[in-house]
Amino acid sequence: LVGAPACGDVMKLQVEVDENGKIVDARFKTFGCGSAIASSSLATEWVKGKTVDEALKIKNTDIAKELCLPPVKLHCSMLAEDAIKAALADYKLKQDPNKEESEKKA
């Protein structure tokens, strides 16, 4: 769960990671402008099927380029990148090697 203080947008990204460290499902909920919603939607699509380490490589610039975000909305893609990182950091923190599947939120 992340927020952008400059514009007051909030973004929630949830990931489901299997025992192999692969992201099998992801969900988002964003309250904010269209660019913020689009950025989190794209981030959700992109992390699916990736490993945790691969997902951590996703950069806000990739998101912004794919969506052709105007300069004034670049911070939305940054928020999405931060949401991915926060979700995965949370997963790593709670990681229990005995569990087969863990559902982590950010």
Partner 1 sequence: FCPGCRALQPPGPRPDLFRLMDCDRSFRIDAQQLQRRFRSLQRAVHPDRFGQRPLKEQCYSEQHSSLINKAYQTLLNPLSRGLYLLELNGVEPAQETDSADPVFLTEIMEINEKLAEPENEDILEEIETLIKVKQEELTKEVTAAFERDDLQEAKKLLAKMKYFANLEDKLKNKKIPS
Binding positions for partner 1, rule: CB under 8 A:
1-10, 12, 29, 31, 75, 78-79, 82, 86, 106
Both structure tokens of 32: 């904010």
Gap between the Cα atoms of 97 and 94, Å rounded: 10
Distance between terminal CA atoms of the chain? 4
For residue 57, which phi and psi values (nearest 5 degrees)? Answer: -85, -10
| Residue 22 vs 78, nearer CB to partner 1 | 78
| Residue 10 vs 56, nearer CB to partner 1 | 10
Least distance (Å) between residue 9 CB and partner 1? 8
Least distance (Å) between residue 4 CB and partner 1? 6
SS3 99: coil
Name the residues annotated as catalytic.
7, 76
| Residue 13 vs 52, nearer CB to partner 1 | 13
